[in-house]
Amino acid sequence: LSPFFKSPMVDGGYDVADHCAVDPVFGTLDDFDALVAEAHRRGLRVIVDLVVNHTSDQHPWFLESRSSRASAKRSWYVWRPGRDGGPPNNWCSEFGGPAWTYDPATDEWYLHSFAPQQPDLNWDEPAVEAAMHEVMRFWLRRGVDGFRVDVVHKIGKDPLLRDNLGTFVGPSHHRPGHRFDEDWPSVHPRLRRMRRVVKEFGERMMVGEVYLLDQAAMAMYVRWDDELDLAHNFHFMNLPWSADLVRTAICELDRLLEPRGWPTWCLNNHDHPRVASRYPGEAAARLSAVLLLTLRGTPFLYQGEELGLRDGAIPEEQRVDVAGRDPARCPLPWEPPSVAGPGAGFTAGRPWLPIAPDAETRAVARQLDDPQSVLSLYRTLLALRRREPALRVGSMAVFEGTGPVLVYRREVPTASLLVLLNFDGQPATVRAADVGRPAIRGTIEASSTMDDLGRGVDAPEVELGPFEGLVLREA
């Protein structure tokens, strides 16, 4: 769940004004408790967003911190005198411009890695770390099953606040140069102490938003029973549409994480364009579903991907997000607008953003009984993953030399599944020799087109259609 805490909503709730209260727009703590109880009754687990790097400027901690240089909570945030009439250093906000705002009342500058209304907490202050540990315990006691830890790589910064080195244009994760404002070594012992808090409550988990495009750097955060259980792989999410690049990334991460970690795969989230908008349309969205749900590791699926939704077109007067991320955040259509009205079954009222495009044809109600729909494809793949240990815990062998087709085998002693994914808009052929077999023999268990399910294959080669993906149970 994205942040639902009390917030002025400058950044979609990531500007938290009270970590232990539900914002009235979403309901109450009693509502949250009921949600967790009903989810658990259905065998679902609930993971909540934990915003650790910053708070709202309306948070009581920051209001006290900025009240005076002598405030007891002054050190809870990063305050510094200016330099040569400007900010203390050259650090940039993720949303553009300097990462510092001047406070005339106390004649100092405060750090904000994001919007000026989101001052950064100072994790070099032990009281801050202790306070965040208590926030974690508050929600763990209420039964949450873990946390998605927001921009966790930013809770370790150079205490000397040295200038970043390099060229800085656009979001920091796309900037070349040496960084002093994130991924500092101090982040790792802090994560280990957070892990100890989680372990107080038994089987709970942490997945980190570690926005580092270097897989080797990201992998350092994933350590069994020590730091994060999982970390979102933004290198993978930002790759161009290329079998070669995807193949390279998969093999590299597998090497980096063995034996201490477990891969995580996702292709979009609430901050990134949807797959059908970023890649070659619905065919790519279908192929991506087969990819994510058959790789070794844990897949994360953003709401609406199971419908093949595209980004929405947001008129200027309806924009909400501070950083222009609204198009990927359009509400999910449950029913066609022609049946349910403009709220498309998501709400009886007016949603905060326009309903996702193609709601008339892509609504859940339209896809439920369509055996060819994207939703039916996801259900087929999820059912296959659930019943096949090879897809959950099996080994993975990735084959080289297959050109635009990504081919890998998932295997346990009792079963072997061959996955073939054609990233090209033209037909492509996979030969038996490419996968180390005298012939390709088996049964089609899943297909991106939802055709030929259950059909037997016994041939020296298999031809895939444009952007087609197959999962074969090998005989």
Residues identified as active-site: 150, 200
Element (H, E) at 252: helix 243-257
Long-range contacts (CB closer than 8 Å, 24 or more residues apart) made by 333-342: 333/307, 333/359, 333/362, 333/363, 333/364, 334/363, 334/364, 334/365, 335/363, 335/364, 335/365, 336/360, 336/361, 336/363, 336/365, 336/366, 339/365
Q: Do the Cβ atoms of 171 and 151 come closer than 8 Å? A: no
By the 10 Å C-beta count (0-12 exposed, 13-18 middle, 19+ buried), 141 is classed as exposed
Nearest CA-CA partner of 300 in 357, 229, 370: 229
By the 10 Å C-beta count (0-12 exposed, 13-18 middle, 19+ buried), 236 is classed as buried
Token code pair at residue 98: 């300097």
φ and ψ of 373, to 5 deg: -70, 165
- The answer to whether the peptide bond before residue 259 is cis (omega within 30 degrees of 0) is yes
What single string gives the DSSP state of each residue in 102-128?
EETTTTEEEE-SS-TTSPBB-TTSHHH
Q: Do you know the residue count of the chain?
A: 475
Chain-centre distance for alpha carbon 358: 24
Distance CA 111, CA 367 (A): 47
Distance CA 49, CA 114 (A): 17
Nearest CA-CA partner of 297 in 383, 375, 207, 213: 207
Helix%, strand%, coil% for the chain, nearest 5: 30, 20, 50
Distance CA 243, CA 262 (A): 22
The beta strands (E) that lie in 139-280 are given as: 146-150, 205-208, 230-231, 264-265
Three-state secondary structure string covering 15-47: CCCEEEEECCCCCCHHHHHHHHHHHHHCCCCCE
- At 201, which amino acid appears? F
